[in-house]
Structure 1
Amino acid sequence: MSNVGTVKHIPKETRYNFLQMGAPASYVAGLGRGASGFTTRSDIGPAREGPSAEAIAEAMAKRGEEVPDPDALQDPDDERNLFAGTVYEADDEEADMIWESVDQRMDARRRAKREASEAEIAAKERAMNPKLQTQFADLKRSLSGLNDADWNAIPEAGNLTGKRRKHNLRLEENQNGRSYAVSDTVLADAASRNVILGELDAAQQEVSLNSLYTRRQTEHIQNGGYETPAGDGTMTDFVSIGNARDKVLSLRLDQASKDATNGSSTSVDPRGYMTALNSQIIQTDAQIGDIKQARQLLQNLIQSNPKHAPGWIAAASLEVHAKKMVQARKIIAEGCEKCPKSEDVWFHAAELNTPENAKVILGKAVQHVPQSVKIWLKAASLETDTTAKKRVLRKALEFIPNSVRLWKETVNLEDDPEDARILLTRAVEVIPTSVELWLTLARLETPENARKVLNSARARIPTSHEIYIAAGRLAEQSPSAVGDVKFEDDAARRQALAPQVDKLMAGAVARLTKAQAILPREQWLQEAERCETEGSPLTAQAIVKATIHLEVEEEDRRTVWLEDADRAEKGGFYEVARACFVVLLETFPKSPSVWRTAAEFEKKHGTPEAVQEILAKGVEHCPHAEVLWLMAAKELWVGGNVKGAQEVLARAFQQNEDSESIFLAAAKIAVETGETEAAQQILQKARAQADTDRIWMKSAVLERQLGKLDEALVTLEQAIAKYPHFDKLHMIRGQIYSDRNEVVNARNAYAQGCKACPKSIPLWILSSRLEEKAGVIIKARALLEKGRLYNPKNDELWAASVRMEERTGGPQQAKTLLARAMQECPTSPTLLAMGIFMENPQQRKSRSVDALKKAPDHAVVIVAVARLFWGERKIEKTRQWMQNAITADSDWGDAWGWWLKFERQHGEKERQEAVISACEKAAPHHGPTWQSVSKDLANVGKSTREILELVADRLE
């Protein structure tokens, strides 16, 4: 149907009733947007009041804004209602503070829970209404992967509309529909070109000439750059100007290079020209502003207080910092005029000028401040001739005769000792209280005259400890101190001089104490250390002997003095430590530990004769100290005096008839010297008198070594009857039967030992090895498991089980057992080292890192790491880790064996000998392979060198 001719119904305009209604009384237009009522100049008559506080609060509440509390800012001095007009006193403030603390306490009770709840609500709010920047964060991060081509391919935002915008400004339209305004700087520069000046200064003339030269060079340069209309209608081609400047610079450099080639003189260095330009320090605007501000402040300072010398110095220093030396010299010169009595101003002026000008300035300075030592020394330093320096310094001494520094500088310039001595003689007359001058004069005198000089100095300065120390050193070094006596060596001479030096220092301490000039104890010890460093050991010892008792309570003397000796030993002051031990031994002669400590010190840092002398005195004062007798006998034995060692032990028997250690030491010396019958007699006598388990054990071992196995078994039977819980007796008995191939008797011996000593780890291991050797693997495994039941978390038993599984069950079974062992003993160094080499080669390095974290200081783990580097053929690194293992535990013999094995393969003969020598010095005793080799009957009596060679051969 056609719509032609139909008439559309036009609805009548709707009118709302509220548009005809009046506004409420409190209505303010725009109040919802933050507006408020106001009155304009056109309002005449009774203006409408603004909204009330309640209306404003209601509108702010509708907008969601926080309604301010009207009482929040209430002044406590302006109370209302009941407290209106009262005074806010201290008790009111205290009450307010109490209530505030209560509020804080109540608020803190559930603060953590409330803050967690608020954080959760905030997180939900951010998740529901995220910000735009968080929504596009992933897109922003993806922009970092764009390259330069992608960035260039992004179209311009203004070009997407395809429309051209029209401007009424002076613009030029380019091909893309853009236009650029002419810079005001360009217009101003173009306008300034037509300005006519009546006179040009030098800088402007130079700039004008350069500009003219540049224009002439650019006349024949054609380049299609951008041309900008200037104010006078001329066109400025900036590209041409830049090219012209580059060409001018190139021409200048080429000309300079030609001149240099032709040998003509030129002021331009073609090589260093650009370097000099780059080395110029360009100050920023901020730095220039700071300099200007500081300059103004200092200018105000020196103008307001011209007599203030530091102000002039600071102002000159600022100009030096600003690279304005002429201005700095001018300021400091004015400062010298304003503050002629300030030596710092004159000194600074000399520093800022050339040496010749500085001499003139200092010449004026000494006229105003003739008592300034600093000025005279500076003047002397400016002189290049020694004679001129002497003349300046002697002139200075005329004005300042009591300056120690001037006298020292004058004396130092003298080449002739006699002239220096004459000067010092005059110096001590002028300055009799200078200790330094007296000591210097004493050093230049002969020993006899030096003693007189020191006596005179001591009379003039009775409170100086340096003079007494110098006297002691003089007495120690003077050849006439002991007359015409000749000594065999320096030690005998020192022994003869020691009483004299000790007496001198003791008298010095007494005099200083009387004069109330005694030094603290620590300072005396430092002086002793300094004397030892400077080559006066007797003086150092005398100081310690005379002052070590100061400031120490009687009950603390032993502990404090031992600490002093230990600290001196660690610091390398062995003479000081030796003096501490001398005092200790004199004060505590009945203490065996003190004698032993002193002997060990002398063994490390002294001579064998000194050790033997201390031990001989020690056994006299402590006859019942077995350890001192044993040490004395061992020192004689090691020194080759076997007869003397036997005599010492014989004397020890008289004082200690029932001593087990002395009996065993005597038997050992007899065995080492080949007197086996005497050794047997000594042990038989020891069994009757001392009757200890170790004596029975040593008797059986000696009989076994001599091949008397039946007698050894009889001795062991008797010993086991007396001492059934001594595991070594059972072990020796089982080993004897095992050597005889009597498996049943050996099994019974080990079984009896395991039953009597279930905590003995070696017994379980020996018993298991016996069964393994017999081919009964199941029983060997069961014995080790039973041993682990009696000794839980024992890594030795686990290690024995793992090794047995490697030999009998295969590597995979051993690895599984090792995993169980590591669960029970996670920090065992032995298991950690075994685990390193059970892993695949690719995983050994990570396993070694884990082992070092769990057991970083054990030699077994460190040797395992060294073996890894050895396998990688890192020679120096392996050698370093071997050294680390020895440092960690020098008593671990297996580490020495691995090191020697390594040096045999990769080291020279000298390195091998160094390892063997160090091992002999360390004398190790532990390690599985080391103990098995050293305790083998075939190796009895062999030296440490021979044992080390055998261990290196056995290690795999």
Structure 2
Amino acid sequence: MDLRRKDRREARLKQEIEKYRASNPKITEQFADLKRKLADVSVQEWESIPEIGDYSARNKKKRFESFVPVPDTLLEKARQEQEHVTALDPKSRAAGGTETPWAQTPVTDLTAVGEGRGTVLSLKLDRLSDSVSGLTVVDPKGYLTDLKSMKITSDAEISDIKKARLLLRSVTQTNPKHPPGWIAAARLEEVAGKLQSARQLIQRGCEECPKNEDVWFEACRLASPDESKAVIARGVKAIPNSVKLWLQAAKLETSDLNKSRVLRKGLEHIPDSVRLWKAVVELANEEDARMLLHRAVECCPLHVELWLALARLETYDQAKKVLNKAREKLNKEPAIWITAAKLEEANGNTQSVSKVIERGIRSLQREGLDIDREAWLKEAEAAERAGSVLTCQAIVKSTIGVGVDDEDRKRTWVADAEECKKRGSIETARAIYAHALSVFVAKKSIWLKAAQLEKSHGTRESLEAILRKAVTYNPKAEVLWLMGAKEKWLAGDVPAARAILQEAYAAIPISEEIWLAAFKLEFENNEPERARMLLTKARERGGTERVWMKSAIVERELGNVNEERRLLEEGLKLFPSFFKLWLMLGQMEDRIGHVGKAKEVYENGLKHCPGCIHLWLSLASLEERINGLSKSRAFLTMARKKNPATPELWLAAIRAELRHGNKKEADSLLAKALQECPTSGILWAAAIEMVPRPQRKSKSSDAIKRCDHDPHVIAAVAKLFWHDRKVDKARSWLNRAVTLAPDIGDFWALYYKFELQHGNADTQRDVLKRCIAAEPKHGERWQAISKAVENSHQPVDAILRKVVLALGAEENPNAAEP
């Protein structure tokens, strides 16, 4: 019965134990999951855990402190311990030095010991100090190097060294002809600091393995400077055909003459060693080098570098003979043909350069060598870097089309030229474009890229030449004519620019771009009558809305209000959906004080162009000036309903509220605007400027998350850095803003103002130069100033300075904000 119930009893017992453990777990089980997480704790986190202190004493109530006088016996004993004994005790003399009476052992004077240590340290410091005050004879770098070289060997390392020593001893004893074993044993002793033992071991290795150059090389390394020459001499005697040992032997010599003697002796044993020939030639003068290279090419006829080096040292006629011999020996080596072409170019035989390259490619192809186009283009770039421009051009001309399908030629060649341009190989890129234009003579895009190359890396004459050639082959390409005229204009040659435009008009009589370019040339050079005549002819030939707009601009410049109104009204009859004419007419009426007519014009314009944001903004601004905020607010609300998700309308409404001091209403509008336009940069920039200063950092972070690459946000963040005097960061962010949007003049003005405050003359000049090259046309403040009548002929740098002045009147980054 007991046996039958045993299983049941054990199962019940097991179940009860499990139940008990579940209800009363051990401490280790309770913290098991937390203990596993300790594996992720770093060393720094362990070290940052504070030590456990006894804080119980802090809460204890202080007991009453009592002070009692010290007994005189204790004071006397302390005084006696500090005394210095100057006489021997009679009992110690009686002992005769054979025993020390235990009762007479003096107490150690700890104070004197401390003073003595201080004295020793002072002497050391005095010894290290120099006689000159403030200087020291201790070399800081050398001192640190000495400390670094001090090896502190632990018990574990000593044990490892002993084990390794036994193992390597076994290796060298069982197989003494195994060189790596001797080298490893010697290096072990070197690491252990036993340099003499290392030298002895490697010497035994040299005796056991005299034909292994690595052993001799290691022995030379471990030997002292005085013995290293003798060691390497024994090595080259044992292995006379080891190039490595001969080079090391020459390296140990101090004078070039002795080095040359050693290398020549090595060449007597190894005459076909290219490394030895190169080393000895480098040490020789020009005449000796020529003689040595003649012998070198006899001993190593299959090494092209020796042939080319000899050709460079010879005269023109002798160099040709050398290269011909080299070509006989190495008939598959392209470098020989390229060197021959460079030789012809260097001696003024320009006609022979391309012939040599063409012959070389044919010869290599006959020998069965594949022409690798990429490799040859690299050779062309190398020739350009060496100053052999004609050779570079000949290589490009002969190899650029190898392995390229006809339909891929244009795309491949343009890509090759752009890559060469990026690498700075301008002549190679120019040669590629020249060859491409000889094949695709009517391709306008290739002419444009070639012209851009000349504009950025060539001369004005080369640019004019390629543009003249381009319009000869592409007389219908407007952009090429315009580019040529603009270059003449920028060079100050207005008559030449006028002549180019006349030629362009003769080639393309119906081109509006040519007409407008001619108008701009006359208008910008203060020739309004010429400009008016050109535009009159353009209107008679059925000009577009742009012609009518430019005509009105000329009349505005001349102050003819009635003629300006007439042109605008006639233009609107022909082009009622062109919003710029409505804007110009409304602005004209507003300018002369007819605000009622201006409002009527804007309203009529919105009937024809209900989606024009500029008309809505102009009308709202006019209403704000005439009837106040409420009427303007109504128009802006209507505009947002008809043009939802338009950030400019929201921003205008927010600014209107701010102008009238309605900060809460402006904040409410901004919140709604960001809900409707969550990725608008201008709204986020306004949000950054409107929040209190402590919140601007978090607001800018939100803005960057929403629209990281928006220039308005970038500029707003740059102003934050500017306010915080973080000059480098502000400069970096402003540079990023003008890089993202070079056409927005407001950012250039902000950048230039920053450099005026925190930069120097070079940075200011750089920003000004970049702005002039970018020719910005947009920007709220930029357009307001550049399109004013009095600034119509002002250059970019003058407009930039005026915008900077306008920014200074609106904001002052250095002022403390509330």
- TM-score normalised to structure 1 length: 0.71
Deviates more, 1:854-863 or 1:399-408: 854-863
Q: Which residue of 1 aligns with 2:43?
A: none
Deviates more, 1:539-548 or 1:737-746: 539-548
Equivalent residue for 2:286, pick from 406, 412, 417: 417
Letter in 2 for 1:289: S
Equivalent residue for 1:377, pick from 247, 253, 257: 247
**C-alpha deviation, 1:804, in angstroms:** 1.7
Residue-by-residue CA offset, 1:455-476 (whole Å, 9 max, x unaligned): 3322322222222232333333
Residue-by-residue CA offset, 1:491-534 (whole Å, 9 max, x unaligned): xxxxxx4x543333333223222223345332223333333334
Structure 1 residue matching 2:694: 3-state secondary structure:
coil
Letter in 2 for 1:375: L
Structure 1's 570 and 221: CA in aligned 2 closer, same or farther, altered over 3 A?
Answer: farther
Q: Which residue of 2 aligns with 1:595?
A: 447
Please give the alpha-carbon distance, in whole angstroms, between the structure 2 residues aligned to 1:917 and 1:147.
Answer: 65
Structure 2 residue matching 1:597: 3-state secondary structure:
helix
For the Cα contact (< 8 Å) 2:304–2:326, is it kept in 1? yes
Q: Which residue of 2 aligns with 1:675?
A: 527
Please give the alpha-carbon distance, in whole angstroms, between the structure 1 residues aligned to 2:128 and 2:600.
Answer: 107
Please give the alpha-carbon distance, in whole angstroms, between the structure 2 residues aligned to 1:569 and 1:63.
Answer: 87
Equivalent residue for 2:592, pick from 740, 754, 757: 740
Q: Which aligned pairs between 1:483-502 and structure 2 lie closer than 5 A?
A: 497=350, 500-502=352-354
Letter in 2 for 1:316: A
**C-alpha deviation, 1:391, in angstroms:** 1.8
For the Cα contact (< 8 Å) 2:657–2:663, is it kept in 1? yes
Q: Which residue of 2 aligns with 1:509?
A: 361
Please give the alpha-carbon distance, in whole angstroms, between the structure 2 residues aligned to 1:254 and 1:941.
Answer: 81
**C-alpha deviation, 1:780, in angstroms:** 1.9
Q: Which residue of 1 aligns with 2:348?
A: 481
Please give the alpha-carbon distance, in whole angstroms, between the structure 1 residues aligned to 2:145 and 2:412.
Answer: 66
**C-alpha deviation, 1:144, in angstroms:** 6.8
Residue-by-residue CA offset, 1:83-140 (whole Å, 9 max, x unaligned): xxxxxxxxxxxxxxxxxxxxxxxxxxxxxxxxxxxxxxx9x999965542577999x9
Q: Which aligned pairs between 1:182-193 and structure 2 lie closer than 5 A?
A: none
Q: Which aligned pairs between 1:266-665 and structure 2 lie closer than 5 A?
A: 280-414=150-284, 416-476=285-345, 478=346, 480-482=347-349, 497=350, 500-518=352-370, 520-665=372-517
Please give the alpha-carbon distance, in whole angstroms, between the structure 2 residues aligned to 1:681 and 1:443.
Answer: 67
For the Cα contact (< 8 Å) 1:658–1:690, is it kept in 2? no
Deviates more, 1:292-301 or 1:692-701: 292-301
For the Cα contact (< 8 Å) 1:795–1:825, is it kept in 2? yes
Residue-by-residue CA offset, 1:736-788 (whole Å, 9 max, x unaligned): 22222222222221112112112211111111112122234323222222222
Pair 1:940-2:796 in alignment: no
Q: Which residue of 2 aligns with 1:829?
A: 681
**C-alpha deviation, 1:277, in angstroms:** 9.9
Pair 1:791-2:646 in alignment: no
Q: Which residue of 1 aligns with 2:88?
A: none
**C-alpha deviation, 1:875, in angstroms:** 4.6
Residue-by-residue CA offset, 1:242-272 (whole Å, 9 max, x unaligned): 99999999999999999999xxxxxxx9x99
For the Cα contact (< 8 Å) 2:451–2:463, is it kept in 1? yes
Letter in 2 for 1:465: P
Structure 2 residue matching 1:842: 3-state secondary structure:
helix
Deviates more, 1:838-847 or 1:448-457: 448-457
Structure 1's 250 and 127: CA in aligned 2 closer, same or farther, altered over 3 A?
Answer: same
Pair 1:810-2:662 in alignment: yes
For the Cα contact (< 8 Å) 2:371–2:402, is it kept in 1? no
Please give the alpha-carbon distance, in whole angstroms, between the structure 1 residues aligned to 2:608 and 2:628.
Answer: 23
For the Cα contact (< 8 Å) 1:509–1:518, is it kept in 2? no
Q: What are the ranges of 5 or more consecutive residues in structure 1 without an aligned counterpart?
A: 1-22, 28-54, 66-121, 155-212, 225-239, 262-268, 483-496
Please give the alpha-carbon distance, in whole angstroms, between the structure 1 residues aligned to 2:145 and 2:528.
Answer: 91
Please give the alpha-carbon distance, in whole angstroms, between the structure 2 residues aligned to 1:400 and 1:953.
Answer: 80
Q: What are the ranges of 5 or more consecutive residues in structure 2 without an aligned counterpart?
A: 39-45, 60-96, 130-137, 811-818
**C-alpha deviation, 1:62, in angstroms:** 4.4
Please give the alpha-carbon distance, in whole angstroms, between the structure 2 residues aligned to 1:702 and 1:714.
Answer: 13
Q: Which residue of 2 aligns with 1:132?
A: 27
Structure 1's 941 and 253: CA in aligned 2 closer, same or farther, altered over 3 A?
Answer: closer
Please give the alpha-carbon distance, in whole angstroms, between the structure 2 residues aligned to 1:630 and 1:149.
Answer: 88
Please give the alpha-carbon distance, in whole angstroms, between the structure 2 residues aligned to 1:954 and 1:256.
Answer: 70
**C-alpha deviation, 1:930, in angstroms:** 0.7
Residue-by-residue CA offset, 1:549-608 (whole Å, 9 max, x unaligned): 233222112222222222222222222222222222122111111111221222112222
Q: How many residues align?
A: 747
Please give the alpha-carbon distance, in whole angstroms, between the structure 1 residues aligned to 2:731 and 2:232.
Answer: 65
Structure 1's 298 and 906: CA in aligned 2 closer, same or farther, altered over 3 A?
Answer: closer
Please give the alpha-carbon distance, in whole angstroms, between the structure 1 residues aligned to 2:125 and 2:596.
Answer: 106
**C-alpha deviation, 1:726, in angstroms:** 1.3
Please give the alpha-carbon distance, in whole angstroms, between the structure 1 residues aligned to 2:276 and 2:717.
Answer: 64
For the Cα contact (< 8 Å) 2:186–2:202, is it kept in 1? yes
Structure 1's 146 and 754: CA in aligned 2 closer, same or farther, altered over 3 A?
Answer: same
For the Cα contact (< 8 Å) 2:253–2:259, is it kept in 1? yes
Structure 1's 276 and 737: CA in aligned 2 closer, same or farther, altered over 3 A?
Answer: closer
Structure 1's 904 and 376: CA in aligned 2 closer, same or farther, altered over 3 A?
Answer: closer
Letter in 1 for 2:275: R
Deviates more, 1:859-868 or 1:932-941: 859-868
**C-alpha deviation, 1:889, in angstroms:** 2.5
Structure 1's 510 and 338: CA in aligned 2 closer, same or farther, altered over 3 A?
Answer: same
Deviates more, 1:922-931 or 1:825-834: 825-834
Q: Which residue of 2 aligns with 1:116?
A: none
Please give the alpha-carbon distance, in whole angstroms, between the structure 2 residues aligned to 1:314 and 1:589.
Answer: 70
Please give the alpha-carbon distance, in whole angstroms, between the structure 2 residues aligned to 1:526 and 1:753.
Answer: 62
Please give the alpha-carbon distance, in whole angstroms, between the structure 1 residues aligned to 2:303 and 2:100.
Answer: 80
Q: Which residue of 1 aligns with 2:723?
A: 871
Q: Which has the larger radius of gyration?
A: 1
Q: Which residue of 2 aligns with 1:71?
A: none
Please give the alpha-carbon distance, in whole angstroms, between the structure 2 residues aligned to 1:772 and 1:250.
Answer: 87
Structure 1's 216 and 278: CA in aligned 2 closer, same or farther, altered over 3 A?
Answer: farther
Greater helix fraction, Structure 1 or Structure 2: 2
**C-alpha deviation, 1:401, in angstroms:** 0.5
For the Cα contact (< 8 Å) 1:659–1:690, is it kept in 2? no
Please give the alpha-carbon distance, in whole angstroms, between the structure 1 residues aligned to 2:478 and 2:262.
Answer: 75
Q: Which residue of 2 aligns with 1:99?
A: none
Letter in 1 for 2:736: N
**C-alpha deviation, 1:894, in angstroms:** 0.8
- TM-score normalised to structure 2 length: 0.82
Residue-by-residue CA offset, 1:220-250 (whole Å, 9 max, x unaligned): 96569xxxxxxxxxxxxxxx9x999999999
Letter in 1 for 2:297: V
Structure 1's 63 and 246: CA in aligned 2 closer, same or farther, altered over 3 A?
Answer: farther
Structure 1's 813 and 329: CA in aligned 2 closer, same or farther, altered over 3 A?
Answer: same
Deviates more, 1:821-830 or 1:245-254: 245-254
Deviates more, 1:790-799 or 1:385-394: 385-394
**C-alpha deviation, 1:943, in angstroms:** 1.1
Letter in 2 for 1:828: S
Superposed CA RMSD: 4.0
Please give the alpha-carbon distance, in whole angstroms, between the structure 1 residues aligned to 2:201 and 2:313.
Answer: 48
